[in-house]
Structures are given as structure tokens and as C-alpha cells.
A and B are shown apart, each in its own frame.
Chain A
Amino acid sequence: MARITLQDLRHSYAPDPKTEADWAIKRLSLDWDDGGAYALLGPSGCGKTTLLNVISGLIRPTEGRIFFDGRDVTDATPEQRNIAQVFQFPVIYDTMTVYDNLAFPLRNRGVAEAEVDRTVREIAQMLDLDRMLKKRAAGLTADGKQKISLGRGLVRSDVVVIMLDEPLTVIDPHLKWTLRSKLKELHYRVARTMIYVTHDQTEALTFADQVVVMKEGTVMQIGTPVDLFERPKHVFVGHFIGSPGMNVLPCRVENGQALLAGAPVATVNAAAYRGNGKRLELGVRPEFVRFAPTGIPVDLVKVADAGRFRIVEMRHAEGTIRLLVPDGAAIPGSRGHVQFDPTRTQVYEDGWLVG
């Protein structure tokens, strides 16, 4: 087990990177505590799998160093780093039984057979695989196979970190939930550092203590799920996390006061604005917008029923505003007014949070 430190990491697949776009990972430094649950979240092609492979040692970064517990492992192989990895598609050894699959990493390392047997049975029980140990691994369903992949990481007591690269992609939707809670449970039981790569915000937010949101090779924000939801550092994070995403409206700031279409709006951070941004925007999540007798005038566009609540889409002079209305609550006619929660409304300068 180890604390993971990435220092000024950069990686490019091009042999001779010139432009900013050549970098799959742009300069990145971070510190991860031992035993934590972390998620790398971002749209496809954002560099999250590259980052994962850099940490696991399958890719050597172009620049920067990686430390496990202060030990420089930049040039170490995956085996030397003692990591385990679960891939997007279940990787199992077809011809072996479930038992032999789980025993494989231990036997490769010359562990005594009695110890192998004890560990395999313990892990199999944790994963609910104990009743199919004698079965051929190829005969299992996708979720069973994925459990084997995970199990091969868990059997090794010396594993520093377990990496999961979109492990639920091929799992049936109704089993995803079960496997996700199983993962969380396992993380508590084995108390190992786990890094989970996904483009699914639900998976990331439910699994991780800390989420790294990436876009085009850049880390947009590192924070707890609550941080990401309540204080997105960039409008991208606001958009990407939450359903529907954050409302973003062009605004102006004068004398520490945000103005939306000329009308003042109370915000958290307008006072911190120093007046040098090219593009100013107001960000507020649909959860923190409500109907009011007075305030920002809007026209109703449409109402979408999302089960427990309804999503109301409205037109304002500066753009579209969405808000959430609990099921059963009244929605005003074609015209109305809304108000933003002042403690949850933030000003963004060129995309980034002001202050």
C-alpha cells in the first residue's frame, strides 16, 4: 500500500510533441493518500486511460516522475510496481478454472500452495465466487468474469493499488448497480488504494472519495463529489456533472456586483473579480433555481418529467435556464420569475471559477 505522488507529469504519444494538442496529458501533479478510493472522470479521449496506464507502468510518461511512498517508480515495470488492474473487457484465462485464475498471480510469484489455497478461498468468498471455483472461467457471465479479474488483483497481499479501467462497460445494466456496491464494499474491507476510470458520473461519484475530472488532457478539478457538485471550478465540470448540468449564462460584473441582462444578481464570488477576464459567465445548478413572484423574468419553453421531479426549461434574454421542480409542485403559466440561490451562484471568468 502506498501514497501515490505524480510530479509535473506530461505524456505525449507523438515522438516529438510540438503543439499543445500533441499532449495526451498536459502538466499534472497530484497526491493520493494510501487506502483512498479515487476516480478519474471525463469524456472519451480526455486522457484518463493514458493517466491510468502511466500510473500502472504500462506507459512511460514523456516527462515527470511518479512516486509510490516517496520511492521513484517512473522506470519500474507494472510487476515491480505491484499494481493490479481490471480492464474494460474481462480478461480471464479461458482454459483455467475460476480457482486457477485466482491462484495464477500467486503461483507466478512462487507462493506456497497452502497459502494460495487459503487466500483464493477467502477472496472467492468476498466476491461470491466460492460456489463456482471448480467451473471453467470461460463459462461465466460477463459480471462473473469481471469479478475474477478483480479477484486476481485482490489475492495479492502486496498490491499497492488496484486500477479499474471502466470495469462496468460490458456489464448488464441491472447488474451494474450490484457490482458497483460490491466494489465499494470491497474497498472498505480490503482498505487498498483503488483508482477507478470512467466516463459515467454516477459510477465515479458513488465510488470515489475524491474525483479527478479531466478534459483534453487537463485536470479540470480534483475534489470530493460534494465539491464537484456545489463548487465546480470550471463550467465544464458544472456541465459534465449533474443531470441536467449547470446553467451557464453570460453576465457582466460592475463594482463587485454581477449583472444579468443589466439586473443585479447576488453571487458568492463576484466581489473577488479583478476585472481582467474576456468572458464572464454566471453558473447556477438547476437544483438551486426556484420560481418566485419577482426576480429574473423568464418564458416557459418545456417541461420534462424525470420521475421524482420535473425539469423545466425556460428562455431568458441571455440564454436557457433549467430548474428542477419537485413532483406535484405548481409550475406558473407561460411567463414567470425565477430566483437563484445566492450561496450557490458563482461567477466564472474564461470558464474558470473567479476567486
Chain B
Amino acid sequence: MNKTLNQKAWFFVLPVVALVAFNAVIPLMTVVNFSVQETFGDNVFFWAGVRWFEEVLRSERFHAALLRQLLYTGIILAIEIPLGLAIALAMPRRGPWVSVCLVFMALPLLIPWNVVGSMWNILALPDIGLLGRSLNAIGLEYNYTRQPFAAWFTMVLMDVWHWTSLVVLLCYAGLRSIPDAFYQAAKVDGARAWAVFRYIQLPKLRYVLTIAILLRLMDSFMIYTEVIVLTGGGPGNATTFLSIDLQKIALGQFDLGPAGAMSIIYFLIILFLSWMFYTLMMRNEDRS
């Protein structure tokens, strides 16, 4: 049997290859290139080996930013996932209110990130903002441009406001896909609301929750725009997360080598966390 050789298929793949090359592979390789070299400008580069990687990994500044980042992601996940799930459970399953709820839920997701930052920036201003002024009016000393705690409080509140909807929508879709027979069976078996949640809804939402947590994990790890607009990383370095720090090194100080090394470490951390989480959530899959 003679196989017909036909290499035309390559032509169809070319556009995608070009696109991926220009928007992912080439930029990433540039970063790799920077991370192993030293430059003093004028496009003159010297080989630096793993020196920048060692430097970044030993730097206390990087440790502090990473810690802030982990804390921030931990806090928003701990709030947004249970809250989103609770709202999704409380939403009506059918009727005219379904679309009303969905539209309300989708609204924050439609607002561009820098606008969200500006909105909360103004809202939280202690002298003219509705939130900031109200807090001060009831006797709480609140000034997010001076107090680290107030800055964190505002950041977390903003993130919860902006992104809980995503968790709600995902969970709601997951809940809607549970066939009525399960609820009827639970009724017949005399299951209380808690048992229905624990043994029907939660197991059926496992994949959806995995996706929701993964999305929020990756997104919050890369948070940039909102922080820059709201606090600019301050007061001091209180809200300088990894992305902010990276930007300061790369574009503030123009240390391309350390910035490149940090980018790669940053990327590997997100990749590792996501992989670890996914593997943990799916480890029982073979058994079921």
C-alpha cells in the first residue's frame, strides 16, 4: 500500500504557529534571554549564568512580596469561594428572578479592571469617598493611603466585590446541571438541607469548584491593574505584590536581568501551585 504524501496540512497550521510565536513564545524567550545576561545598555549583553536567579531567590524583598502575594490570594480565596457558593445556593432555581439575579451578578465582571480600581479609589477616599467618609463618620480611623491594614481591607473588599460573581456564576451553572431526580430522591430518603448539600450538591460541584478556585488562584496571583490604580503598591510596600514588584524592578529600575529571572520564577510558582492544586482535587478520579 502506498501512502499518499500530502504536506499541505502544514500551511493550515502556519497562522496559528505564527500567532502563538509572536504573542507567547518569542516574548517568553526574550525574558529567558534577559534572565541569563547582564547589560549596561546599547544592546550590549554579557553572559551572567544563573546569577540573577540566585540573587532573586535570596532577596528579602522578593520573599516579602511573595509572602504578601500568598497571604492575599489565601484571603480572597477563603472569602470568595464560600461566599460565591452560598450566593449560588441562595439564588432562585427558576422563575423571572433568575435572569435578574444573573444580570446583577454579571455586572461587576463587565467592568474593566482599571475602572474598578478607580471606582474603589474614589469610593474609599477618607475625605470625599462614600465608604471612606462613612467609616470615619462612625468613628473608625480609616485612611487607606496611610494605614497598611486599611489598604489591605480595601483591596480585599474590592477583589471580593469584583470576582465573587465569577464563582457565583460557575457554581450556579453547576447547580443547575444537577437533575431534579437527585433532589426528589433526597426528599424521599428524608435528607435534610445540610445532607442534600453535603452529599449531592457539593460532590456534583467538584469540577466547577476546582475550575473556580484555579481561575481565582491564577488571576489573583497576577493581580496588577487594580492595585496600581488603588494603592500603587503602598503605603510603603504594604500592597506591593509580585507583579507590582516585578514592574518596579523591570521598568522602574530597568534591571532587566533580575526582572527576567523573577518573571520566570514567578511563572513557575503559578504553574506549580495550579498543578499541585489540580492534582490534589482530581486525585480520587481513578477510583470513582
A contact residues vs B (CB 8 Å cutoff): 56, 58, 77-79, 83-85, 87-89, 91, 93-96, 104-105, 108-109, 136, 138-139, 149, 152-153
B42: interface (CB < 8 Å):
no
User: Contact: A87 with B195, CB < 8 Å?
Assistant: no
Decide if B187 is an interface residue (CB 8 Å cutoff).
Answer: yes
Determine the chain A residues whose CB is within 8 A of the CB of B287 once the complex forms. 136, 139
- 8 A-B pairs with the lowest CB-CB distances in the bound complex, closest first: A108-B190, A138-B288, A91-B185, A87-B181, A105-B189, A93-B199, A95-B203, A94-B203
B13, CB-defined interface residue at 8 Å: no
Of the listed residues B184, B187, B188, B203, the one surrounded by the most CB atoms of chain A closer than 10 A to its CB is B188
Interface residues of B in 164-196 (CB under 8 A from A): 179, 181-182, 184-185, 187-192, 195
A79 touches B188 (CB 8 A): yes
A93-B188 CB under 8 A given contacts A138-B288, A139-B287, A139-B288:
no
Q: Does B200 contact A (CB under 8 A)?
A: yes
Q: Main SS of chain B's interface residues?
A: helix
Question: Given the interface contacts A95-B203, A138-B288, does A83 sit within 8 Å of B181 by beta carbon?
Answer: no
Question: With a CB–CB cut-off of 8 A, which chain A residues contact B200?
Answer: 93
Nearest CB in chain A: distance from B93 CB, A = 15
Specify which of A56, A94, A139 is in contact with B188 (CB 8 Å cutoff).
Answer: A56
4 new A-B contacts, CB < 8 A, other than A85-B184, A108-B195, A149-B185, are: A78-B184, A91-B184, A136-B288, A139-B287
Please pick, from A58, A149, A152, the residue contacting B187 in the complex, using a CB distance under 8 A: A58
Among candidates A87, A136, A138, residue contacting B184 with C-beta atoms closer than 8 Å: A87
B181 near A79 (CB under 8 angstroms)? no
What residues of chain B lie closer than 8 Å to A58, measured between beta carbons? 184, 187
Closest chain A residue to B192, Cβ basis:
A108
- Are A108 and B191 in contact (CB-based, < 8 A)? yes
Main SS class of interface, A: mixed
* Sample of 10 A–B contacts (CB below 8 Å): A58-B187, A78-B187, A83-B188, A84-B188, A96-B199, A105-B188, A105-B189, A108-B189, A108-B195, A136-B288
**When chains A and B are docked, how far (Å) is the Cα of A219 from the Cα of B204?**
39
Could you tell me how many residues of chain B have their Cβ less than 8 Å away from some Cβ of chain A? Answer: 18
Q: A94-B203, A136-B287 are in contact. Are A89 and B191 (CB under 8 A)?
A: no
Q: How far is the CA of A84 from the CA of B184 in the complex (A)?
A: 10
Residues of B within 8 A of A153 (CB): 188
Q: Chain A residues with Cβ under 8 A from B187's Cβ?
A: 58, 77-79
Q: Which residue of A lies closest to B182 (CB)?
A: A91
Say yes or no: A109-B190 contact (C-beta < 8 A), given A91-B181, A139-B287. Answer: yes
Q: Which residues of A contact B192 (CB under 8 A)?
A: 108
CA distance A152 to B189 in the complex (A): 8
Q: How far is the CA of A90 from the CA of B288 in the complex (A)?
A: 15
- Which one of A108, A149, A152 has the greatest number of beta carbons of chain B within 10 Å? A108
Q: Is the CB of B195 within 8 A of A85?
A: no
Closest to A96 in B: B199
Interface residues of B in 86-126 (CB under 8 A from A): none
> In the bound complex, what is the Cα–Cα distance between A91 and B191 (angstroms)?
14
Alpha-carbon separation in the docked complex, A277 to B288 (Å):
62
Chain A minimum-CB-distance residue to B185: A91
Q: Which residues of A contact B184 (CB under 8 A)?
A: 58, 78, 85, 87, 91
B-chain residues with CB within 8 Å of residue A104 when the two chains form the complex: 189, 191, 195, 199
Once the chains are docked, how many angstroms separate the CA of A78 from the CA of B190?
Answer: 9
Q: Which of chain A's residues have a CB closer than 8 A to the CB of B188?
A: 56, 78-79, 83-85, 105, 153
C-alpha spacing A109/B195, complex, angstroms: 12
CA–CA, A93 to B201, complex, Å? Answer: 10
* Cβ-neighbour of B199 out of A56, A78, A88, A95 (below 8 A): A95
Q: Are A94 and B189 in contact (CB under 8 A)?
A: no
A104 to B288, CA, bound (A): 19
By a CB distance below 8 angstroms, the chain A residues around B204 are 94
Most buried by A among B184, B189, B203, B204: B189
Which residues of the partner chain B approach A56 to less than 8 Å between Cβ atoms? 188
Closest to A58 in B: B184
A residues within 8 A CB of B195?
104, 108
Q: Which residues of B196-250 are within 8 A (CB) of A?
A: 199-200, 203-204
Contacts of A105 in B (CB 8 A): 188-190
Q: Which of A79, A88, A93 has most chain B Cβ within 10 Å? A: A93
Nearest B residue to A83 via CB reads B188
In angstroms, Cα B278 to Cα A145, docked, is: 28
Q: Min CB distance, B202 to chain A, in Å? A: 8
Interface centre among B182, B187, B190 (most CB of A within 10 A): B190
Q: How far is the CB of B101 from chain A (nearest CB, A)?
A: 23
A198 to B: closest C-beta gap in Å: 17
Given the complex of chains A and B, what is the CA–CA distance between A218 and B251 in angstroms? Answer: 79
Measured CA separation A78–B195 after assembly (Å): 17
Pairwise interchain contact A79-B185, C-beta atoms closer than 8 A? no
